[in-house]
Amino acid sequence: MHAQNPLNQLLLVLDPDNSHRIRSHQSTTQHRWTLQGMTALVTGGTRGIGHAIVEELTGFGARVHTCARNEHDLTKCLKKWNDSGFDVTGSVCDVSVPHQREALMESVSSLFHGKLNILINNVGTNIRKPVTDFTSAEFSTLIDTNLGSVFHLCQLAYPLLKASGMGNVVFISSVSGFFSLKSMSVQGAMKTCEWEKDNIRSNAVAPWYIKTSLVEQVLSNKDYLEEVYSRTPLRRLGDPAEVSSLVAFLCLPASSYITGQIICIDGGVSVNGFHPTT
């Protein structure tokens, strides 16, 4: 691809001795924009944003392992990916259950020979009701799924990430973390400070409303949907592929100096803020 660059061709004509330098530059550039030879774990990879991330990372050359609670969904996705030539494996796992997290990471360690380059903490859930109406069981579900599982998976993955020599942790958070407390930003910052010596970067991606099955019910209210559009400068919902492309970039060598960041992918809504009346 780079050999067809007109500027490179001109340089070769003007100075044939430059050929080695140009080839060296091309090789370096290509290395910065590939995940070839790298390994990744994406939790919750059978639907929505997680599904898009699996396909994005494999498209850049990574070997990906994913997990899901629903065995039927996982089997269906694995068949589709394998038929398409994607290098994806999977495990049935409910990441809110500690012993299932441990089993998942044992599988990952075995598959990838004790090394993991990329951990994508994608699984998360929400219960939409006033705080005063929460039961203790519902609160525990949120904490175990959104916080406990992420913290424990990072602990379990740390030796594998360190062994890889170049590790990346990406948290899928939410732009609502800037409006309320629903973000992995504190965890991300802690890990950045503690793990940077091991060449492990940590970042969080904070999407706004993305076109997935999880938001269909919420946005079925046309008045509420119009409020969402009116406060979103781009006047539309995001697409899972738009989130996955940002996640992939944060895992590439090209982003090697980015760590400890929360990057919004929100059509600009974080500039306006969002205070629904519906």
Q: Out of 116-120, 191-195, 203-207, 226-230, pick the least confident.
A: 191-195
Residue 269 · residue 232 · CB < 8 Å: yes
What tokens were used for 123?
Answer: 């699984």
Predicted confidence (pLDDT) at residue 187 exceeds the cutoff of 80: no
Helices (H), the chain: 6-14, 19-32, 48-59, 71-83, 98-111, 136-142, 149-164, 185-195, 213-216, 222-231, 240-251, 269-272
Pairing of strands 262-265, 39-43: unpaired
* DSSP letter assigned to residue 207: E
pLDDT in tens, 7-54: 556 555 666 666 555 455 555 677 899 999 999 999 999 999 999 999
What tokens were used for 65?
Answer: 């392992």
Cα–Cα distance for residue pair 169/118, rounded to 1 Å = 6
What is the pLDDT averaged over residues 96-120?
Answer: 97
pTM of the model: 0.84
Structural domains of the chain ordered from first start: 35-269 (3.40.50.720)
Contacts of 101 (CB under 8 A, 6+ apart): 93, 95, 149, 152, 153, 156
Per-residue pLDDT band at 188 (split at 50, 70, 90): low
Cα–Cα distance for residue pair 25/12, rounded to 1 Å = 13
Q: Please count the CA atoms within 13 angstroms of the CA of 158 that sit on its side-chain side.
A: 13
Distances, alpha carbon 241 to alpha carbons 212, 237, 247, in Å: 11, 12, 10
User: From the CB of residue 43, how many other CB atoms can be counted at a distance below 10 Å?
Assistant: 24
